[in-house]
Structure 1
Amino acid sequence: MTSTAFTEATDPFCLAQADAVAMLSGAPWSRFAVIGDSLSAGTGDPTPGYRDQGWSDRVADVLRRVRPELEYLNVSEIGATTAQTLQNQASRMVDFAPDLLHLPCGANDIVRRRPDFGEIERTLRRMYDVAAETGALLTTFTLGRAYVVPVFPDWTERIVTLNEIVRGLAAEYDALVVDMWDHPINDRDDLVSADRIHFSTSGQAVMAAEVVKKLAVSLGRTASAQSPPRA
């Protein structure tokens, strides 16, 4: 684990807001929606030196500076499974008619004694089917290595299996994947919150930067602030 103390201004994986806005200048999205669980919500403890804001609100702020008329909907709920997301959030998302839509990656689907990965994939696919009907550009995450539930000895295998399902569905539905599984910030000893599950706001800032970079690439641009190589 690394212990170098960064601030948002010095963190090599963060983006200054002006740079993020420049990377997305002229972006077409004016209706940004987020559904899912606490990862979608951007839940996390404050980190000294970083703005106390989740990744999704950060991305909305950048998009709003690009397009002041941006409408933003985040109906994510802490603890929601994919099935609960479909049941409780999907109709509001469809009614909102997003042109940019972030989907959860099933983090709460695997916190059970014996997860059924076949059923998890089928439920995620139903969510993608509903999302695809909106015509929005879809984004999602993979889960990072720092997300650990020690009570399950096979936890790493669960994450790896779920991430592969997410990558496969994203490829099938042309969704952008922000891959956090092996991102270098997983090695930071101050990355996760007191609950040892959610990324603190330093991680939220980095995830927002990675989303902006991925959106910039989708616009045919090269991100101006690429992640430096791992030490």
Structure 2
Amino acid sequence: MSSTLTEATDPWCLRPGEAADLLRDHPWHRFVVLGDSVAEGLCEPLDGYPDVQWADRVAAELRAVRPELAYLNLGRRGLRAHEVRATQLADALAFGPDLALVVCGGNDAFRPGYDPDAVDGELAAIITALRDAGADVITVGMFDVSHSPAVRDTLRAGLGARMRRLARHTRAVAERLGTLHVHLTDHPLVADPSLYSGDGRHGSARSDAVATAETLRVLATHHTGRR
């Protein structure tokens, strides 16, 4: 990545005014986020990009259109999929959301013993409960962090295989349950080292900016399609 590139010049980020166009007259009033550290917002600062994490950025753009939008982020670092369901789902439902972002499974996939069917079951339970309560649900296939320069070469192949398997499974659950799905795992930038933090587990401010752009485009396709 050029050292002079910023969000304003990054071709994969939103252009000025684009978010407002994408979300014009959007229908959502109560936005909740469930998940792990990605949901919570752990990302590494990067020159040229605002130090504002992905879910907060999405909420801010939704609120720019509807200032009364209520926003609750329940994300907590370190949680596996079953822990997200056990500790966050009840509070999310009590909030009464009409839009929910669910990001989990990454901490499961970091483990060699990752059980995709078990994670699928937890994710499906979370999605089903939220949809039954009347919320639109966003699911995500995350950037493949095995491309991070901070990941040891001896771990890269195994981690990459598990992260891509998680993404495939998440997309299949999304298709089966009818979520709004944001697939970042095969994004053209996925192997760009500027997307990743120095800890080998999280993203940079650039990855959050790109993820925000992709999320808003998915939201726009959904809400304009049902006008």
**Normalization by structure 1: what TM-score?**
0.89
CA distance, structure 2, for counterparts of residue 96 and residue 152 of structure 1: 39
Structure 1 residue aligned with 2:168:
164
Q: Structure 1 residue 165: deviation in Å?
A: 1.2
Structure 2 residue aligned with 1:186:
190
CA 1:178/1:41 → structure 2, altered by over 3 Å: closer, same or farther?
same
Structure 1 residue aligned with 2:112:
113
Structure 2 residue aligned with 1:96:
95
The structure carrying a bigger helix percent of its residues is 2
CA distance, structure 2, for counterparts of residue 103 and residue 76 of structure 1: 9
CA distance, structure 2, for counterparts of residue 184 and residue 191 of structure 1: 11
CA distance, structure 1, for counterparts of residue 14 and residue 157 of structure 2: 36
Residues 82, 127 of structure 1: 8 Å contact kept: no
CA distance, structure 2, for counterparts of residue 117 and residue 146 of structure 1: 18
1:61-76 map, 5 Å: 61-76=60-75
| Alignment pair present for 1:137 and 2:136 | yes
Structure 2 residue aligned with 1:220:
224
Gaps of 5+ in 1: 222-231
Residues 27, 223 of structure 2: 8 Å contact kept: no
Amino acid corresponding to residue 21 of structure 1 in structure 2: A
Identity of aligned residues (%): 34
CA RMSD in angstroms, aligned pairs only: 1.7
**Helix, strand or coil for the counterpart of 1:72?**
strand
Amino acid corresponding to residue 172 of structure 1 in structure 2: R
Structure 2 residue aligned with 1:59:
58
Q: Structure 1 residue 173: deviation in Å?
A: 1.4
CA distance, structure 2, for counterparts of residue 78 and residue 163 of structure 1: 19
Structure 1 residue aligned with 2:202:
198
**Helix, strand or coil for the counterpart of 1:154?**
helix
The Cα offsets for residues 168-214 of structure 1, whole Å up to 9 and x where unpaired, read as 11111111111111112223222111112211111101101111111
Q: Structure 1 residue 130: deviation in Å?
A: 1.9
CA distance, structure 2, for counterparts of residue 219 and residue 10 of structure 1: 28
Residues 37, 77 of structure 1: 8 Å contact kept: yes
| Alignment pair present for 1:126 and 2:125 | yes
CA distance, structure 1, for counterparts of residue 220 and residue 188 of structure 2: 21
Residues 141, 178 of structure 1: 8 Å contact kept: yes
Instruction: After the TM superposition, list the runs of 4 or more consecutive aligned residues in structure 1 that deviate by more than 6 angstroms.
Output: none
Residues 143, 190 of structure 2: 8 Å contact kept: yes
